[in-house]
Amino acid sequence: MNQPKDQALVAVAACAAVVETASHKLSSLSASDGKISVNKLDAHQVLAYDLAHAAAGVYASQVMCEYATTGDFEAKLAFAFIADSVAELATKLVGRSTEWGSDVIALESAAEFVARYRSTEFLETLGDDLVKYGTGPNHLDDDFDLVAQTFRRFAEEVVRPHAEHVHRTNADVPEEIISGLAEIGGFGLSVPEEYDGFATGGESDYMGMVVSTEELSRGSLGIGGSLITRPEIMTRALVAGGTEAQKAKWLPRIASGELMAGIMATEPDFGSDVAGVKVTATPTDGGYLINGVKTWCTFAGRATILLVLARTNPDYSVGHRGLSVFLVEKPQSDGHHFKFCQPTGGKLEGRAIDTLGYRGMHSYEVAFDNFFVPAENLIGEEAGLGRGFYLQMAGFENGRLQTAARAVGLMQAAFEAGLEYAQDRKVFGKPVFDYQLSKVKLARMAYLIQAGRQSSYAVAKLMAQGQGTLEASMVKAYVCRAAEWVSREAMQLHGGMGYAEEFSVSRYFVDARVLSIFEGADETLCLRVIARRLAENALSES
């Protein structure tokens, strides 16, 4: 037996079996009339939530088994990650074996592997390797390596110099960044070539988006990586449901950066539960009148076109089938407040919501008062009525993958800051890095980052084949929670200076907190998407 690699496969298989057993258990507890009942599922939320994260850990471990075959250091990172994932799953089983249908004995075949690759001695040695190898090779091909270099250079030279000022003053995203990103094609990554973008309809579209997003987020989450998220969501919705005339009108202008996109789905009383959306779009001569309030509308001030999810069917009993999406044009606005009045009397007013981190983009609460939108701005026009939820999800599903890439970029920046400071700073006569605990912390950061990165690559390839929706949700949930730990520990390595705003690591810490909230709050994503899908899959196998 090729011990390390074969043992890794055995360990991952043991974890996968536990997850499968729990999925069937949750399915049996939640089934009603041959379908999964949300009400019954909600009666087992703790199991469902932990199962979702465990399944994400198994998926990432499977990806890392492949990464282990690419080199010796890569194998060390992979084995450490897999051992960590087994240990994390074991803690979920302790005291809850009846709920899971398995106990820790089910992971006994992985015991030797975990003991070796989770040992302090191994992780300390891995920590020493970080000085030379960092978080490990990405193994991108030449084309994507060039993409990474291009966006890394832009992030270093254009984004990062503005990041601290924008964060501390809660300023707007500098126009230099927007125009520069447009120049290198950042807004057209998902726009098809026939509409002046760079998308060819293959794997490169998704991989290019993931690679560029990570590098921009490494420079800054708020004014870097997130700048291309909203155009991405809007583009996907247009491509999925827009008429030919709509695509020809809007997509080239999105790709060029002429139009800046904002997304409006969330409302004060409805976040991830979009079926309850109250903002209405009522037919009128030549179009629709939009009324109601949207919240957490990121970049709504600077944006010149908004993707607005609104209720076109007043019958709430039809749920999300009563929703449609509109493209709403508006003037550009700087600062933290805007108000626009139409000649017909319609009004649109927004105020920025001050946030803990993730500054520069500004998230707004926006009120519509009889705001007129032409009928031609309903995505899909007549054929788009009632399809709003599906068209929005066409963008949001890819947005989850993009958010995972944003998390990886932020983690990479935090790791680099932590490693550098630990090597430079001396405590009790020797560098912080030379202490065992520092090395073990940094080692864990490195393998969490690489696992998130490689998982994002793997999901990008799946999505290019029309698959990967579940995997995108799992990677988003797993990586975004990991980002909180990585940024916290990078900050902790700085000691008291980590709490000082003069060090970027404090920004990474507060920025990381938003990752588990947007593009699907962690709990909703785990309970209503991941766990539900796992239970449905198990039910179909029964």
Tokens of 521: 């709050």
Distance CA 216, CA 151 (A): 6
Tokens of 316: 């709430």
Nearest Cα residue to 232 out of 394, 462, 471, 405: 394
Structural contact between residues 301 and 334, judged by C-beta atoms closer than 8 angstroms: yes
> Beta partners for 465?
none
369: left (phi over 0), alpha (psi -120 to 50) or beta: beta
Distance CA 453, CA 512 (A): 16
Nearest Cα residue to 47 out of 518, 540, 535: 535
Nearest Cα residue to 59 out of 522, 523, 539, 468: 468
Query: Is the C-alpha dihedral spanning 142, 146, 148, 149 positive or negative?
Result: positive
Structural contact between residues 376 and 293, judged by C-beta atoms closer than 8 angstroms: no
> What is the helix, strand, coil percentage profile of the chain, to 5?
65, 15, 20
Tokens of 318: 């039809």
The string of DSSP letters for 83-123 reads HHHHHHHHHHHTT-HHHHT--GGGGGGGHHHHHHHSSHHHH
Structural contact between residues 301 and 260, judged by C-beta atoms closer than 8 angstroms: no
Structural contact between residues 154 and 181, judged by C-beta atoms closer than 8 angstroms: yes
3-state secondary structure 473-512: HHHHHHHHHHHHHHHHHHHHHCHHHHHCCCCHHHHHHHHH
Tokens of 57: 């850990």
Is 381 in the active site?
A: no
Instruction: Pick the catalytic residue from 20, 214, 397, 519.
Output: 519
Three-state secondary structure call for residue 337:
strand
Tracing tokens 């009128």 back to the chain, one arrives at: 284
Distance CA 357, CA 63 (A): 32
Query: Is the C-alpha dihedral spanning 534, 536, 541, 542 positive or negative?
Result: positive
The string of DSSP letters for 170-227 reads T-PPPHHHHHHHHHTTGGGSSSBGGGTSSB-SSHHHHHHHHHHHHHHHHH-TTTTGGG
∠ Cα 496 497 498 (to 5°): 90
What DSSP element (H or E) covers 350? strand 347-353
Measured CA distances, 206 to 78, 190, 201, 235, 306 (Å)? 24, 8, 9, 13, 23
> Which residues participate in catalysis according to the annotation?
519
